[in-house]
Amino acid sequence: MNVILIINDTFRRDHLGAYGNTWIRTPNLDAFAQRSAIFDQAYIASYPTIPNRWDVHVGRYGFPTRGWEPLGPEDETLAQMLSARGYTSMLIYDPPQLGYHNYDYTRGFDAWWWVRGQHADPYITDPNILTPLPAQRHKLRSVEGLKLYLRNQGSMRHERQYKVARIAQEAVDWLETNHSLDPFFLCIDMWDPHEPFDPPWYDHQLYADPDYEGDRIIYPQYG
């Protein structure tokens, strides 16, 4: 049996049509859900990005004893378990934390592909790319990280340029090339829809208040 694990960060179940939402359009996810087993009483253990990845990859409850920290030397990951049973394993991801700070979340995978430039990934240094803030500084969280994000995005205009679309295409390409591997484990880890909230403008227009004239707060200062 082949295994594909898809992770989307900061996804609210009540924003999906499959779970009863009537005003947000999620037709592809709804169609997928119709052909799937849905777990209506499943609860995650840890909410933040890295603590949640530990729960998922190690299969244990990290909260409240673990924070933002690397895998421990004693931690055996799902990729390691499957590789020991003959699986070829691949990780395709864009959350920067998985790729640096020595968090070691590529552990056990035969190969991995990091789609660079998401969030505050120190990736692009081009001084010609201007990074004007979309709102007043006190309304934004992690201003320097947001500037990194804005520089990474550059002149991005088309949906295919967004990280989630690039990761999906990388996954499709990998499957087209490696589908004959038996068995395989493919983990697709996407940062979106996590902040910064910066969708293509035409998706934004589906839900935007036409009368709103305030700042564009894509990374809110919550408190």
Structure tokens at 23: 């005003």
For residue 116, give its domain range: 3-11+44-206
Q: Is the dihedral of CA 169, 174, 177, 181 positive or negative?
A: negative
What are 158-179's pLDDT values in tens digits?
889 999 999 999 999 999 999 9
Q: Is residue 58 domain-resident?
A: yes
Average pLDDT (110-117) is 97
Does 219 map to a domain? no
Number of Cα atoms under 13 Å in the Cβ half of residue 209: 6
Token pair belonging to 144:
């320097």
Q: Is the pTM above the cut of 0.85?
A: yes
Answer yes or no: is 30 within a domain: no
Number of domains present in the structure of the chain: 1
pLDDT (tens digit per residue) in 33-78: 999 999 888 888 898 999 999 999 999 999 889 999 999 999 999 9
Q: What residues pair up with 3 in beta bridges, in sequence order?
A: 185
In a domain, 216, yes or no: no
Q: DSSP letter at 62?
A: -
Any domain includes 214: no
Indicate whether 7 belongs to any domain: yes
The answer to whether residue 213 is domain-embedded is: no
Task: Provide the pLDDT confidence category of residue 133 given band limits of 50, 70 and 90.
Answer: very high
Q: Does residue 160 belong to any structural domain of this protein?
A: yes
Tokens describing residue 2: 């082949």
The pLDDT, as a whole number, for residue 2 is 98
Supply the pLDDT for residue 32.
96
